[in-house]
Amino acid sequence: MMRIGNNSQGIWQLLSRMNGGKANTNMPFAGASKGNYCDNTIDDLRSGHFKNSYGVEGMGITGRTDWKRIVNVSDEMKQHVYEDVKKAFYKYGGMSGDNTAETDAYYDKIHSYVKSLDLSTRRAAPWTLSQLHLEISGRVTQAVKEKDPTWTAGKPISHEILDEIFAGDTIYQDSVNALYSKGSKGLDIQI
């Protein structure tokens, strides 16, 4: 026999028991107080101001491809990407590493930056930064392999080799120029 009734009451009782006998009023679903994520999402849908799962307007990409384009990003953010690539090669042999705090700090800065942009470039800026990351990484990988043909990703690299590769700003400038050259030609840059 199937029972039809108020199942949410049973859910609230279960959640209450899991929370030491207190109902959790911060849950983002039915019964949540005004101002929680669920309520904001409904308001966003009604107003047409769509936000992503992080609550940032203008980041939805479902059904869109216009975000895969190169846009101007700040020199500070380009440098941020460059420093992340350098760290990856010095510390992790060209891999991303396993330090969650480092990874979170890297992406937190990008997320903060993206929130400061106008809606017309907000979707494309992270794409641009990821393409710059790939461009710089590819150039560094090629330079390392020229100096040590036996090297493979993840294997430690001599700091002397890396110091030589990262001396000056050639890798950085060539990567930025190549990225914007591809973008200005209207190429569809894919990962």
Closest listed residue to residue 149, CA positions, set 161, 137, 160: 161
Q: Which has the higher per-residue pLDDT, 63 or 108?
A: 108
Residue 51 lies in a domain: no
Q: Which has the higher per-residue pLDDT, 21 or 30?
A: 21
pTM over 0.75: no
Q: How much is the pLDDT for 123?
A: 82
Q: How much is the pLDDT for 118?
A: 86
Q: Which residue has the tokens 């030491």?
A: 20
Q: What is the mean pLDDT of residues 154-178?
A: 95
Query: Nearest 5°: phi and psi at 51?
Result: -115, 155
Q: Mean pLDDT, the chain, as a whole number?
A: 76
Closest listed residue to residue 53, CA positions, set 35, 31, 38: 38
Residue 7 lies in a domain: no
**Model pLDDT for residues 70-124, shown as the tens digit of each residue:** 999 999 999 999 999 999 999 999 998 888 999 999 999 998 999 898 877 888 8
- Domain extent for 117: 69-185
Beta bridge partners, 57, equal 51
What are the Cα distances from residue 36, in Å, to 25, 40, 138?
10, 6, 43
Residue 24 lies in a domain: no
Q: What is the mean pLDDT of residues 12-17?
A: 48
Residue 126 lies in a domain: yes
Residue 63 lies in a domain: no
pLDDT at 45 over 80: no
Looking at the structure of the chain, the number of domains it has is 1
Closest listed residue to residue 125, CA positions, set 139, 111, 138: 111
Collapsing DSSP to helix, strand or coil, 39 comes out as helix
Residue 42 lies in a domain: no
Residue 52 in contact with residue 44, Cβ under 8 Å? Answer: no
Collapsing DSSP to helix, strand or coil, 120 comes out as helix
Q: How much is the pLDDT for 121?
A: 85
Residue 84 lies in a domain: yes
Residue 152 lies in a domain: yes
Q: How much is the pLDDT for 3?
A: 46
Q: How confident is the model at residue 48 (pLDDT cuts 50, 70, 90)?
A: low
